[in-house]
Amino acid sequence: MKRLYVVILAAMTVFAAFDAVAANAWMQNARRSSECVFPAARGVLARFAGEDVADKFAFERMEADEPQAEVSARDGKILVRATDENRAAAAVGRYIREVAKGHWSRCGNRVPAEWPLPAKTLKVKSVLPHMHAYNYCVFSYSFAFYGKEEWRENIDRLALSGFTSALVPTANMKVWQLFMRDAGFSEEQISAFIPDEMAQSWTNCGVMEGVGAPFPTDRIDEEAELGRWIVKEMRALGIEPMLQGFTGLLPNSSTNVICGAKWPDARIYEQGRWAGNLKRPVLLDATTDAYAKLAKMWYRRLYEVYGISNPRYFVGNLFSEGGVAKGVDCRSIAAAMQREQQIASPGSTWCISCWGAAPRQDLLEGLDPDLTRIIVLDRNMANGGVFPRSFGKITWLWGELLNFGGNEGMYGGMNALLNLGGHQNGVNGKTLRGYALESEGLDTNPVFYDLFTDLFFRPGAVSGEGGLERWLSGYAERRYGIRDERIEKALLILARSVWNVNRCQEGCSETVFCARPKWNVAKSSTWASDKPPYYSAKDVEDAAQLYLSVAKERRQLLELATFRHDFTDVFRQVLSDRGLALVPQLKDSSSARAEFLSLIRRMDELLACTDAFRLDTYEARARRRAGERGVRSIRRMFTTWIERPNSDLNDYAHHQFAGLLGNYYQKRWEAFFANPENADAKLDELERSAPSAVWDMPPNSKDILLVVERL
């Protein structure tokens, strides 16, 4: 009995000690939670830099009439005081950028080694109240096949940068599926309408349907779960999601479903075709009872799928890129659509994209200006802070549109950013409410997006004599962690050359390597500029040589994702420019043709050294989410876009990726050079077979310096 008592006593002592440890850990976590009034903002910091760094910060709520924050030092801690979670996260971002000299981007992060106390209080207040993120197209060109891990990083970057709203069409296909069932469509009609991951963006913006169909039902459910999670995580950080409103755009099969006894007053208008030969969805007249009933179905399913009941913003466009409005009373249908939005979510704002001729003026006349906002997509990256169109009393956001199709190509609108404040001072300045990130792809030219988001909070960041030079010097320090005159000189050369377009064009001056071959080729895609480059290729070569001289002395920089990306990119541009220079000689010179093919092979070898420029990096993500069907989908988009060779969309989403250059673009050029007069059939065959072709990926030579020196 005595022995049993001793055992029990020992066990009680052990359990008591264990309980004390557990209690202490619980108390520490509880204390951390209670002290951190902005846990979501702290979470962003912890994911970026680790828990040990996050513990160096303290968070406190402040009272103010407008959203804002400040960062200072108190009791050995970095103190973030903010009015709300969104501003707290933005303040963390400003501290990382301005005090710790760290960097984040879609093209690599650099976490600083030191986290000093601020020497003075850092005020964090945006120039304008609203910063919006995302164009429909980016969800296909950059975000297709994203899961929670990738979206976690996306949302964190938005929070650090200070964005207040973001488009979220992820999960829309589940809304369409349930809505169409409610409306009486068959499963076959639903399956034929819903496109695959790479094409969903253009069904969401109302210009086509069914490309890449059928989209498997298990993937529809996975995306629904993901979209619901995205909305929850964004809202936790004060980033308000923009969800798809019901604009009356319906599948073409609606003429056999909606125009029947169930919907006796339905009136449907044909919308014509898009991008050559793709049939657009039809438009249901919103002034009918049929529209009102269907709208209620839509919003009920929208809220069910996203787990939300009070969205502040709806998005939806009409007559995009040439949609037909013949016979449509635009003013009346706009008013009717907005009325249903207000029933669904009182006080919500309808956000409409301004691109080309849309939105029509008669449509805007039917809307309540207080419940409407225009998001401008401005392709003029040479503009001087002027947007020519006025929207009357309707508020608007100016949106950059740097990238089209997700294409690689050094390109920038430094002039547009240097003059960004002009929008506030112009004739429409009183109704300007903010800025928008509207590029179709976001994985290129990180310098542009870094400066763009910096100007949200520091409008004078590049002002005055030498302002741009000073900013680029700070950018180099934050992105690469070094101060080196050669890098600063290289950045300034690029900023005054290839990053400073002096005319209006849709995206970068494209590579000819990715073009469907012909003798006088000048671009790869239909709508790109075919003018000679606006910059000197020698400028790019000079900058590349400066990067190379630094890399030779500081080889460790090539292990840094940020430097490796930019080092790869500048030499990719050098090879692309050399290829363009050879075009006039191709028809008459066999040696020029041999050199042209050699440049493609050398680019393939160069890009194979960096994961961000390898095709198999993107195919692996697609395979994880959707198996081999996903790989076929991504290859189709990168090559022919639709399942038909040589259409207007051919090579629109071309990519200078290792594995795509050698297996696809090089073979097209070889076929053309071998038989230029009769190459079309062979080119069609290569394009048609690309999605399912068996391609060997080039080896990854880790020694990128050796590869570059051989160039």
CATH of the domain at 455: 3.20.20.80
Check whether the bond before 214 is cis (ω within 30° of 0): yes
Distance CA 687, CA 650 (A): 9
pLDDT on residue 75: 97
Provide the token pair at 642.
Answer: 């639709």
- Claim to verify: residue 362 and residue 422 sit in the same structural domain: yes
Distance CA 88, CA 583 (A): 53
- Claim to verify: residue 119 and residue 154 sit in the same structural domain: no
Distance CA 453, CA 458 (A): 9
Domain extent at residue 420: 130-460
Provide the token pair at 350.
Answer: 């309808």
pLDDT on residue 185: 95
- Claim to verify: residue 671 and residue 553 sit in the same structural domain: yes
Domain for residue 476, yes or no?
no
Cβ-contact 636, 690 below 8 angstroms: yes
Domain for residue 387, yes or no?
yes
Instruction: Write down how long the chain is.
Output: 711
Above pLDDT 90, what percent of the chain? 90
pLDDT on residue 92: 98
Distance CA 160, CA 138 (A): 20
Provide the token pair at 245.
Answer: 């409103």
Number of domains in the chain: 3
- Claim to verify: residue 215 and residue 314 sit in the same structural domain: yes
Cβ-contact 497, 539 below 8 angstroms: yes
- Claim to verify: residue 75 and residue 160 sit in the same structural domain: no
Three-class DSSP category at 350: strand
pLDDT on residue 435: 98
pLDDT on residue 29: 44
Distance CA 594, CA 687 (A): 23
Go through 502-541 and write b for each residue having 16 or more CB atoms within 10 A of its CB, e for each that does not: eeebbbbbbbbbbbbbeeebbbbbeebbeeebbbebebbb
| Alpha-carbon torsion angle 143, 145, 148, 154, nearest 10 | -10
pLDDT on residue 4: 41
- Claim to verify: residue 253 and residue 153 sit in the same structural domain: yes
pLDDT on residue 8: 39
- Claim to verify: residue 111 and residue 165 sit in the same structural domain: no
- Of 103, 93, 95, the C-alpha closest to 475 is 103
Distance CA 382, CA 314 (A): 31
pLDDT on residue 426: 84
Cβ-contact 220, 177 below 8 angstroms: yes
What is the CA 22 to chain-centroid distance, rounded?
44
Domain for residue 14, yes or no?
no
Amino acid at 440: E
pLDDT on residue 261: 75
Go through 477-494 and write b for each residue having 16 or more CB atoms within 10 A of its CB, e for each that does not: bbbbbeebebbbebbbbb
Q: Is the dihedral of CA 111, 112, 114, 120 positive or negative?
A: negative
The neighbouring-strand residues paired with 311 are none
Provide the token pair at 466.
Answer: 């030498």
Pair type for strands 165-167 and 432-437: unpaired
Task: Give 11's contacts (C-beta < 8 A, 6+ positions apart).
Answer: none
What is the CA 276 to chain-centroid distance, rounded?
26
Distance CA 656, CA 146 (A): 21
Amino acid at 490: A
- Claim to verify: residue 570 and residue 672 sit in the same structural domain: yes
Distance CA 433, CA 130 (A): 6
Distance CA 458, CA 436 (A): 16
3-state helix, strand, coil in the chain (%, to 5): 50, 10, 40
Go through 236-251 and write b for each residue having 16 or more CB atoms within 10 A of its CB, e for each that does not: bbbbbbbbbbbbbbbb
Which residue among 108, 124, 140 closes a domain? Answer: 124
Provide the token pair at 27.
Answer: 């108390």
Q: Give the residues of the chain that fall short of pLDDT 50.
A: 1-34
> How many beta carbons lie within 10 A of that of residue 703, not counting itself?
11
- Claim to verify: residue 210 and residue 323 sit in the same structural domain: yes
Distance CA 88, CA 36 (A): 11
Which residue among 124, 151, 176 closes a domain? Answer: 124
Side-by-side strand order, sheet with 282-284: 249-250, 282-284, 268-269
Amino acid at 545: Q
Domain for residue 244, yes or no?
yes
Element of type H or E holding 670: helix 666-674
Mean pLDDT of the chain: 94
- Claim to verify: residue 87 and residue 139 sit in the same structural domain: no
Domain for residue 72, yes or no?
yes
- Claim to verify: residue 218 and residue 263 sit in the same structural domain: yes
Task: Give 213's contacts (C-beta < 8 A, 6+ positions apart).
Answer: 191, 192, 193, 194, 195, 196
Q: Where are the alpha helices (DSSP H) in 361-458?
A: 361-364, 414-418, 422-425, 446-454
Amino acid at 649: L
Element of type H or E holding 160: helix 148-161
Three-class DSSP category at 355: strand
Cβ-contact 598, 584 below 8 angstroms: no
Distance CA 543, CA 550 (A): 11
Domain for residue 218, yes or no?
yes
Backbone Cα Rg of the chain = 27
Distance CA 275, CA 611 (A): 32
Query: Between 467-480 and 446-454, two packed helices, what is the crossing angle to 10 degrees?
Result: 110
Distance CA 105, CA 142 (A): 14
The neighbouring-strand residues paired with 349 are 313
- Claim to verify: residue 453 and residue 599 sit in the same structural domain: no
Provide the token pair at 427.
Answer: 């004739």
CATH number at residue 563: 1.20.120.670
CATH number at residue 52: 3.30.379.10
What is the CA 96 to chain-centroid distance, rounded?
22
Distance CA 35, CA 695 (A): 55
Which residue among 79, 102, 124 closes a domain? Answer: 124
Between the alpha carbon of residue 674 and those of residues 588, 662, 677, the distances in Å are 13, 17, 9
Provide the token pair at 78.
Answer: 């970095």
Domain for residue 473, yes or no?
no
What's the distance, Cα to Cα, between the start and end of the chain in Å? 85
Distance CA 351, CA 338 (A): 11
Three-class DSSP category at 527: coil
Between the alpha carbon of residue 532 and those of residues 98, 133, 372, 535, 669, the distances in Å are 39, 32, 41, 9, 21
Cβ-contact 241, 169 below 8 angstroms: no
Domain for residue 27, yes or no?
no
- Of 623, 645, 624, the C-alpha closest to 632 is 623
